[in-house]
C-alpha cells in the first residue's frame, strides 16, 4: 500500500545506475545480435505460484509437457537449423527430469541458472541465497555444469541478488528491460556487477501463446506474433543492437508455436548481418572489448 512514508523512502536516483551500454562492434561480419535463449521452468512455473499446485495434476501437466514433448521438439528444431542456444533451467527441473537436462547439454547448448524452485526474487526474501545455492548444486551434481549465466525467475531482481550473483561468480545476467545492447551493472557500493544481456517482453512467448487456468491470457496466431518479432528484429538490426528471446518449451514446444518459431528462426538465419548465438558468447565478446578499452 502506498502511504506518504513509503513514498518518501523512494531514493531520488535511478534504480539502475549502470553507465550507458558501450558502443563496440559485433564480431565480423555481423552488425547485430540475437541471444537465443529458453527458460526451462517445467512444473516449477506452476509450483512457484502455489506449492499446492503439485497436487493439481492438470496444472502440473502444462509443465510436464516440457520433458515429454516440448524440449525434445525444440532440440530437434535447433539441430535442423544448426543453431546453438542457452537454456536457463531450474534446479528442480534438472532433478525431476535429468534425462531432459542431459539431452540439452549433450546437444551442445549452454546451461544457465534459473533458480531452484523458480521463486520470484522479492526484497527481503529469506530464500534468495538458498535458491541460488540449490540451483548451483543441482546443475553441478546432475550435469557437472558451473553456469556463468543467470536469468531471474519471473524476471525480477533485487540489489541483494545482484550482489550475491557477483559473489557466486556469475558472469552475465539476462533479465533487465532497460537497454538494447549489453552493459555492465554497477552495484550500490560502486563495484562492477554482472554483464547484462537485456530482454524485452515482445520476445517472451508466454505473453502471446500460453493460456491456462492460473495464467489466463489471449493466444495470438502466428501472423500476429511473426509481425511483432520481425519488426522488432529488423529495427534492432538497423540500430546495430541485440534482441533476446525468452522462450518456454511448454509454450514454444507446442505444435502451432513450434511452426511459428521455425519460421521466425529461418527468417533470422537469412539475415546475414545477424549473429545468432548463446549468452556466453555475447558476454565473452563484451569482455574482450571491455578489456581492450581499459
Q: Provide the binding-site residues for Zn ion, judged by CB under 5 A.
A: 39, 41
Cβ 178 to Zn ion shortest distance, Å: 19
Tell me the three state secondary structure of residue 212.
strand
Q: Toward Zn ion, which CB reaches closer, 41 or 280?
A: 41
Q: DSSP class of residue 247?
A: B
Report in angstroms how near the CB of residue 248 gets to Zn ion at its nearest: 7
The minimum distance between CB 88 and Zn ion, in angstroms, equals 7
> Closer CB to Zn ion, residue 40 or residue 243?
40
Which residues 6+ apart lie within 8 Å of 247 measured at CB?
37, 38, 39, 74, 203, 204, 205, 261
Nearest approach in angstroms of CB 8 to Zn ion is 34
Least separation in angstroms between CB 26 and Zn ion = 27
- Which CB atom, from 132 or from 236, has the smaller least distance to Zn ion? 132
Q: How many CA atoms lie within 13 A of 174 on its CB side?
A: 35
How far lies 4's CA from each of 10, 14, 122, in Å? 10, 20, 22
- Which is closer to Zn ion, CB of 39 or CB of 196? 39
Q: How far is the CB of 84 from Zn ion (least distance, A)?
A: 20
Alpha carbons within 13 angstroms on the beta-carbon side of residue 79 total 12
Q: Is residue 92 within 8 Å of 45, Cβ to Cβ?
A: no
Nearer to Zn ion, 41 or 66 (CB): 41
Our CB check for Zn ion shows the closer of 179 and 204 to be: 204
* Least spacing, CB of residue 153 vs Zn ion, in Å: 5
Q: Considering the complex, state which of residue 194 and residue 250 has its C-beta at the smaller distance from Zn ion.
A: 250
What distance in Å separates the CA atoms of residue 39 and residue 246, rounded to the nearest whole number?
Answer: 6
* Contacts for 78 with CB less than 8 Å, ≥ 6 apart: 84, 85, 107, 109
Angle at which helices 128-143 and 159-167 cross, to 10°: 40
* Closer residue to Zn ion (CB): 41 or 196: 41
- Minimum CB–partner distance for residue 91 and Zn ion (Å): 12
- What Cα–Cα distance (Å) separates residue 174 from each residue in 37, 266, 276? 10, 24, 16
Q: Is 63 helix (H, G, I), strand (E, B) or coil?
A: helix
In what helix (H) or strand (E) does residue 82 lie, and over which residues does it extend? none
Amino acid at each position: 500500500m502506498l502511504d506518504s512514508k513509503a513514498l518518501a523512502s523512494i531514493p531520488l536516483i535511478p534504480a539502475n545506475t549502470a553507465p550507458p551500454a558501450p558502443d563496440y562492434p559485433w564480431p565480423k561480419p555481423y552488425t547485430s545480435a540475437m541471444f537465443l535463449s529458453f527458460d526451462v521452468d517445467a512444473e516449477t512455473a506452476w509450483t512457484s505460484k502455489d506449492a499446492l499446485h503439485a497436487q493439481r495434476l492438470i496444472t502440473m501437466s502444462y509443465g510436464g509437457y516440457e520433458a515429454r514433448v516440448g524440449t525434445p521438439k525444440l532440440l530437434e528444431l535447433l539441430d535442423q537449423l544448426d543453431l546453438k542456444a542457452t537454456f536457463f533451467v531450474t534446479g528442480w527441473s534438472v532433478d525431476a527430469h535429468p534425462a531432459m537436462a542431459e539431452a540439452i547439454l549433450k546437444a551442445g547448448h549452454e546451461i544457465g541458472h534459473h533458480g531452484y524452485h523458480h521463486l520470484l526474487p522479492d526484497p527481503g526474501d529469506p530464500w534468495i541465497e538458498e535458491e541460488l545455492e540449490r540451483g548451483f548444486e543441482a546443475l553441478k551434481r546432475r550435469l557437472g555444469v558451473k553456469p556463468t549465466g543467470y536469468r531471474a525467475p519471473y524476471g525480477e531482481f533485487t540489489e541483494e541478488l545482484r550482489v550475491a550473483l557477483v559473489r557466486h561468480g556469475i558472469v552475465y545476467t539476462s533479465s533487465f528491460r532497460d537497454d538494447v545492447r549489453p552493459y555492465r551493472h554497477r552495484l550500490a557500493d560502486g563495484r562492477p556487477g554482472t554483464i547484462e544481456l537485456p530482454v524485452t517482453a515482445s520476445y517472451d512467448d508466454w505473453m502471446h501463446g500460453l493460456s491456462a487456468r492460473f495464467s489466463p491470457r489471449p493466444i495470438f496466431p502466428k501472423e500476429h506474433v511473426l509481425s511483432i518479432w520481425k519488426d522488432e528484429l529488423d529495427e534492432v538490426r538497423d540500430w546495430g543492437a541485440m534482441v533476446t528471446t525468452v522462450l518456454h518449451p511448454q509454450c514454444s514446444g507446442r505444435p502451432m508455436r513450434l511452426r511459428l518459431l521455425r519460421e521466425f528462426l529461418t527468417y533470422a538465419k537469412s539475415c546475414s548481418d545477424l549473429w545468432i548465438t548463446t549468452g556466453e558468447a555475447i558476454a565473452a565478446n563484451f569482455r574482450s572489448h571491455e578489456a581492450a578499452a581499459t
